């Protein structure tokens, strides 16, 4: 979450909320908003001339988004929640949120945002339970604009002078007597344009869902012996859409454990040689999605190199897929860390990152000799032990 830009050339300028009631005693005041549904916001902003056609089309292209007019309202609705922060008389950062969405901060409580140290492990759930604030906003449901409320959590990372927010709640649905929890975009917003779901009975005792149990959009979920594809949420009808699959599981491709890995091919960065997943059938393959600016990725490189050098190419291979990085930076990394395994760029032509639904780096997939994913996000000793066990079998 960021405050409004002070640039007059900001293409979002006309979409900014006009608020009053910021405490007059504050200094270094900044105002901004948290958007519960950026897609609805952009759609209505275009239809009210708050953003240009060129900007609207650019966003569609960047997001790979085709607006669904059946789920969106041309009439403006309150998708945003305004906030302000500044320093009090002793220089402490204070914040205020327009929880009732009336654009007036004077009837809201001032609070000191909870500080979070990124170097210290913390309990997300405990943090949320103590520090959430209920906020009001609007949604477009059954072709009507309705007011709803949700819990909002805001924390402050003092080291980086950065505020973070999320909405710690999920929706529920059921199919054939099986209860499902549905989250929106990793709890970052409430647009439900990227819905994740999990079978509630599979959630661990500490109310945590195992990573491999979370079903992303266009992934598969198995319910009572049937396989369904998660087609996301129809926001207007307020329903979860699941598509029953005719094909057996062993014919389906997905980035999930237990499913066939998506086939791909590309040119190896240094040699230009063709590399494909199909060409590596018969071996265990680690697909390593990384970027040159990713600290944990770089930290793992020496481990991967040592492990790679001590395994037989006839049994095990690593293919690194590089995203969001400059070629010259990749060259430097290869030289610095003596990387000898294949490197492929994910780009608009092969769209490997998009196909595998990569949301962050590093992300890894371990594929067996039959092309089936058997593990995700193994690194360090866990990866080494797993491969050694498999190769010995």
Task: Pick the closest to residue 110 from 24, 188, 6 (CA basis).
Answer: 24
Q: How many structural domains compose the chain?
A: 3
Q: Is the pTM here over 0.85, yes or no?
A: no
- For residue 125, the model assigns a pLDDT of 65
User: CA 41 to CA 39: how far, in whole Å?
Assistant: 5
Pairwise pLDDT comparison (259 vs 9), residue with the higher score: 259
In a domain, residue 258? The reply is: no
- Kindly state the average pLDDT of the residues 67-89: 94
CA distances from 90 to 83, 94, 116 (A): 21, 11, 21
Q: Find out whether 154 and 173 touch, Cβ atoms under 8 Å.
A: no
Two tokens, residue 349: 């032509």
Both 152 and 20 in one domain: the answer is yes
- Kindly state the average pLDDT of the residues 353-367: 93
* Greatest C-alpha distance within the chain: 71
Strand partners, 197: 182, 215
Both 30 and 80 in one domain: the answer is yes
| 329: Cα within 13 Å, side-chain hemisphere | 12
- Kindly state the average pLDDT of the residues 317-324: 96
- pLDDT beyond 80 at 130: no
- Print the domain residue range for 185: 171-251
Backbone angles phi, psi at 362, to 5 degrees: -75, 150
Last residue of a domain, one of 166, 194, 219: 166
Both 155 and 242 in one domain: the answer is no
Backbone angles phi, psi at 90, to 5 degrees: -105, 15
Last residue of a domain, one of 131, 166, 201: 166
| Cα end-to-end span (Å), the chain | 50
In a domain, residue 4? The reply is: no
User: CA 187 to CA 128: how far, in whole Å?
Assistant: 12
Both 152 and 176 in one domain: the answer is no
- pLDDT tens-digit readout, 156-196: 887 778 888 999 899 999 999 999 999 998 888 999 888 99
Both 279 and 161 in one domain: the answer is no
In a domain, residue 1? The reply is: no
Both 144 and 196 in one domain: the answer is no
Close Cβ partners of 19 (under 8 Å, ≥ 6 residues apart): 31, 82, 84, 98, 103, 104, 105
């Amino acid at each position: 979450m960021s405050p409004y830009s002070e640039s007059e050339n900001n293409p979002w300028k006309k979409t900014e909320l006009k608020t009053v009631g910021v405490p007059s005693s504050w200094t270094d005041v900044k105002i901004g908003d948290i958007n519960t549904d950026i897609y609805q916001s952009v759609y209505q902003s275009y239809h009210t001339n708050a953003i240009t056609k060129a900007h609207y089309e650019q966003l569609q292209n960047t997001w790979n988004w085709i607006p669904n007019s059946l789920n969106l309202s041309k009439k403006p609705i309150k998708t945003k929640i305004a906030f302000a922060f500044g320093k009090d008389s002793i220089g402490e950062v204070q914040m205020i949120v327009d929880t009732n969405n009336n654009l007036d901060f004077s009837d809201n409580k001032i609070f000191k945002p909870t500080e979070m140290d990124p170097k210290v492990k913390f309990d997300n759930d405990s943090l949320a339970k103590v520090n959430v604030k209920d906020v009001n906003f609007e949604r477009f449901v059954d072709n009507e604009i309705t007011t709803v409320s949700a819990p909002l959590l805001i924390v402050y990372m003092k080291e980086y002078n950065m505020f973070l927010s999320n909405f710690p709640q999920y929706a529920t649905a059921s199919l054939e007597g099986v209860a499902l929890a549905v989250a929106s975009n990793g709890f970052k917003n409430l647009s439900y344009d990227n819905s994740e779901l999990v079978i509630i009975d599979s959630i661990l005792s500490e109310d945590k869902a195992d990573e491999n149990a979370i079903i992303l959009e266009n992934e598969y979920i198995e319910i009572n012996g049937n396989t369904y594809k998660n087609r996301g949420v129809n926001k207007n009808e307020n329903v979860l859409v699941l598509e029953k699959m005719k094909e057996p599981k062993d014919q389906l491709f997905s980035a999930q454990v237990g499913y066939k890995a998506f086939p791909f091919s590309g040119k190896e960065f240094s040699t230009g040689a063709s590399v494909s997943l199909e060409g590596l059938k018969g071996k265990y393959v680690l697909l390593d999605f990384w970027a040159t600016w990713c600290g944990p990725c770089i930290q793992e490189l020496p481990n991967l190199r040592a492990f790679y050098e001590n395994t037989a190419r006839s049994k095990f291979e690593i293919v690194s897929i590089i995203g969001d990085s400059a070629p010259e930076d990749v060259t430097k990394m290869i030289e610095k860390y003596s990387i000898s395994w294949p490197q492929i760029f994910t780009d608009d032509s092969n769209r490997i990152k998009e196909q595998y639904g990569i949301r962050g780096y590093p992300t890894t997939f371990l594929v067996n000799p039959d092309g089936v994913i058997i593990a995700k996000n193994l690194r360090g000793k866990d990866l080494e032990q797993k491969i050694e066990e498999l190769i010995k079998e």
